[in-house]
Amino acid sequence: MAIPITACCPKCGQRFRLIPAMGGQRIRCPLCLELFLASDTDEAPTRQNVASSLEAAKQVLAADEEVLYGIFGMIGVSGSFPPRTFLNEFLMRDSDPCDQDGRMSDWQPFAMSPEEYGELKVWWMAGHPGAVEDSLGVENWDDWVQEVLNHREP
Protein backbone atom coordinates (compact mmCIF):
# COMPACT_ATOMS: atom_id res chain seq x y z
CA MET A 1 0.00 0.00 0.00
CA ALA A 2 1.33 3.45 -0.92
CA ILE A 3 2.22 5.87 1.85
CA PRO A 4 -0.13 8.90 1.79
CA ILE A 5 1.27 12.38 1.28
CA THR A 6 0.41 15.30 3.54
CA ALA A 7 -0.80 18.45 1.79
CA CYS A 8 -1.16 21.83 3.45
CA CYS A 9 -3.53 24.55 2.23
CA PRO A 10 -1.59 27.78 1.65
CA LYS A 11 -4.62 29.89 2.63
CA CYS A 12 -5.95 28.42 5.88
CA GLY A 13 -3.17 26.04 6.94
CA GLN A 14 -5.44 22.98 6.90
CA ARG A 15 -3.38 19.78 6.63
CA PHE A 16 -4.79 16.59 5.19
CA ARG A 17 -3.63 13.29 3.73
CA LEU A 18 -3.87 12.39 0.06
CA ILE A 19 -3.06 9.35 -1.96
CA PRO A 20 0.33 9.78 -3.65
CA ALA A 21 -1.27 9.98 -7.11
CA MET A 22 -2.84 13.31 -6.05
CA GLY A 23 0.60 14.92 -5.66
CA GLY A 24 1.17 17.64 -8.25
CA GLN A 25 -2.54 17.98 -9.04
CA ARG A 26 -4.75 20.99 -8.37
CA ILE A 27 -7.03 20.25 -5.43
CA ARG A 28 -9.58 22.20 -3.41
CA CYS A 29 -9.16 22.60 0.36
CA PRO A 30 -12.17 21.01 2.08
CA LEU A 31 -12.14 23.69 4.79
CA CYS A 32 -11.70 27.04 3.00
CA LEU A 33 -12.27 25.86 -0.60
CA GLU A 34 -8.96 27.36 -1.82
CA LEU A 35 -7.72 25.75 -5.04
CA PHE A 36 -4.00 24.92 -4.93
CA LEU A 37 -1.33 22.56 -6.22
CA ALA A 38 -0.98 19.54 -3.93
CA SER A 39 2.53 18.65 -2.88
CA ASP A 40 3.93 16.57 -0.03
CA THR A 41 5.01 18.84 2.81
CA ASP A 42 6.02 18.57 6.41
CA GLU A 43 6.35 22.32 6.71
CA ALA A 44 3.71 24.45 8.34
CA PRO A 45 2.48 27.35 6.23
CA THR A 46 3.99 30.75 6.88
CA ARG A 47 2.02 33.07 9.14
CA GLN A 48 1.29 35.46 6.28
CA ASN A 49 -0.43 32.67 4.34
CA VAL A 50 -2.58 31.43 7.22
CA ALA A 51 -6.01 32.98 7.61
CA SER A 52 -6.57 34.96 10.77
CA SER A 53 -8.05 33.12 13.73
CA LEU A 54 -11.30 35.00 13.15
CA GLU A 55 -11.60 33.87 9.53
CA ALA A 56 -10.50 30.33 10.41
CA ALA A 57 -13.08 30.16 13.21
CA LYS A 58 -15.84 31.35 10.88
CA GLN A 59 -14.87 28.65 8.40
CA VAL A 60 -14.73 25.92 11.05
CA LEU A 61 -18.06 26.87 12.64
CA ALA A 62 -19.88 27.27 9.31
CA ALA A 63 -18.53 23.97 7.97
CA ASP A 64 -19.25 22.16 11.24
CA GLU A 65 -22.80 23.47 11.31
CA GLU A 66 -23.41 21.96 7.87
CA VAL A 67 -22.12 18.41 8.44
CA LEU A 68 -24.30 15.64 9.77
CA TYR A 69 -23.61 15.31 13.52
CA GLY A 70 -21.49 18.49 13.67
CA ILE A 71 -21.91 20.01 17.14
CA PHE A 72 -22.42 23.50 15.77
CA GLY A 73 -25.55 22.24 14.00
CA MET A 74 -26.97 21.61 17.48
CA ILE A 75 -25.54 24.83 18.89
CA GLY A 76 -27.09 26.77 16.02
CA VAL A 77 -30.58 25.82 17.15
CA SER A 78 -29.87 25.92 20.90
CA GLY A 79 -30.02 29.69 21.37
CA SER A 80 -26.65 29.59 23.17
CA PHE A 81 -23.10 30.42 22.14
CA PRO A 82 -20.09 29.16 24.09
CA PRO A 83 -17.86 31.50 26.12
CA ARG A 84 -14.43 32.15 24.58
CA THR A 85 -12.57 29.74 26.87
CA PHE A 86 -14.94 26.91 25.93
CA LEU A 87 -14.78 27.72 22.22
CA ASN A 88 -10.98 27.78 22.37
CA GLU A 89 -11.02 24.29 23.92
CA PHE A 90 -12.96 23.13 20.86
CA LEU A 91 -10.76 24.96 18.33
CA MET A 92 -7.57 23.61 19.92
CA ARG A 93 -8.76 20.01 19.42
CA ASP A 94 -8.39 20.15 15.63
CA SER A 95 -11.60 18.19 14.97
CA ASP A 96 -15.18 17.79 16.16
CA PRO A 97 -15.57 14.57 18.17
CA CYS A 98 -19.32 14.73 17.51
CA ASP A 99 -18.68 14.33 13.76
CA GLN A 100 -18.97 10.56 14.13
CA ASP A 101 -18.74 9.72 10.46
CA GLY A 102 -15.80 12.02 9.73
CA ARG A 103 -17.51 14.22 7.16
CA MET A 104 -15.59 17.31 8.22
CA SER A 105 -11.85 17.68 7.74
CA ASP A 106 -9.59 18.32 10.68
CA TRP A 107 -8.18 21.83 11.08
CA GLN A 108 -4.92 23.21 12.38
CA PRO A 109 -5.51 23.94 16.10
CA PHE A 110 -5.74 27.60 17.05
CA ALA A 111 -7.20 29.88 19.72
CA MET A 112 -9.02 33.19 19.55
CA SER A 113 -8.11 36.44 21.27
CA PRO A 114 -10.84 38.31 23.17
CA GLU A 115 -11.14 40.77 20.27
CA GLU A 116 -11.45 38.02 17.65
CA TYR A 117 -13.97 36.19 19.82
CA GLY A 118 -16.07 39.35 20.12
CA GLU A 119 -16.19 39.70 16.34
CA LEU A 120 -16.96 36.02 15.90
CA LYS A 121 -19.80 36.23 18.41
CA VAL A 122 -21.33 39.18 16.51
CA TRP A 123 -21.02 37.21 13.25
CA TRP A 124 -22.62 34.08 14.79
CA MET A 125 -25.48 35.98 16.40
CA ALA A 126 -26.25 37.81 13.16
CA GLY A 127 -26.94 34.43 11.60
CA HIS A 128 -28.67 33.02 14.69
CA PRO A 129 -31.12 35.67 15.99
CA GLY A 130 -31.81 35.34 19.69
CA ALA A 131 -28.58 33.47 20.45
CA VAL A 132 -26.70 34.61 23.56
CA GLU A 133 -23.35 33.82 25.10
CA ASP A 134 -24.08 31.49 27.98
CA SER A 135 -21.83 29.27 30.12
CA LEU A 136 -24.90 27.12 30.93
CA GLY A 137 -23.57 26.86 34.49
CA VAL A 138 -20.62 24.63 33.60
CA GLU A 139 -16.85 25.07 33.57
CA ASN A 140 -15.56 23.49 30.35
CA TRP A 141 -16.34 22.68 26.72
CA ASP A 142 -17.24 19.01 27.23
CA ASP A 143 -19.76 19.79 29.98
CA TRP A 144 -21.12 22.72 27.95
CA VAL A 145 -21.74 20.49 24.94
CA GLN A 146 -23.46 17.95 27.16
CA GLU A 147 -25.79 20.69 28.44
CA VAL A 148 -26.60 21.76 24.87
CA LEU A 149 -27.36 18.16 23.90
CA ASN A 150 -29.45 17.54 27.02
CA HIS A 151 -31.63 20.59 26.41
CA ARG A 152 -32.27 20.27 22.69
CA GLU A 153 -35.79 20.32 21.35
CA PRO A 154 -37.21 16.81 20.72
Whether residue 45 sits in one domain with residue 72 = no
Asked if residue 57 and residue 91 are part of one domain, the reply reads: yes
DSSP letter for 108, please: -
Residues 62 and 39 in one domain: no
- How many independent structural domains does the chain possess? 2
Expressed as residue numbers, the domain containing 22 is 5-49
Angle between helices 141-150 and 84-91 (to 10 degrees): 100
Tell me how far CA of residue 57 lies from CA of 4, 31, 69, 152, in angstroms. Answer: 27, 11, 18, 24
Same domain, 38 and 78: no
Residues 24 and 75 in one domain: no
Q: Is residue 42 located within the same domain as residue 60?
A: no
Residues 117, 100, single domain; the answer is: yes
What letter does residue 56 receive in the DSSP assignment?
H
The verdict on 34 and 74 lying in the same domain is no
Residues 66 and 134 in one domain: yes
Question: How much is the pLDDT for 40?
Answer: 61
Q: Along the 154 residues of the chain, how does pLDDT read in single tens digits?
A: 567 777 777 776 777 778 877 878 888 877 777 777 887 654 444 433 344 889 999 999 999 998 888 899 999 999 999 999 999 999 999 889 888 777 888 888 888 889 899 999 999 999 999 999 999 999 999 999 999 999 865 4
101 and 141: one domain?
A: yes
The model's pTM? 0.66
What pLDDT is attached to residue 62? 93
Dmax over CA atoms of the chain, in Å, equals: 51
Burial class (CB in 10 A: 0-12, 13-18, 19+), 123: middle
Q: Are residues 113 and 38 in the same domain?
A: no
Same structural domain for residues 117 and 144? yes
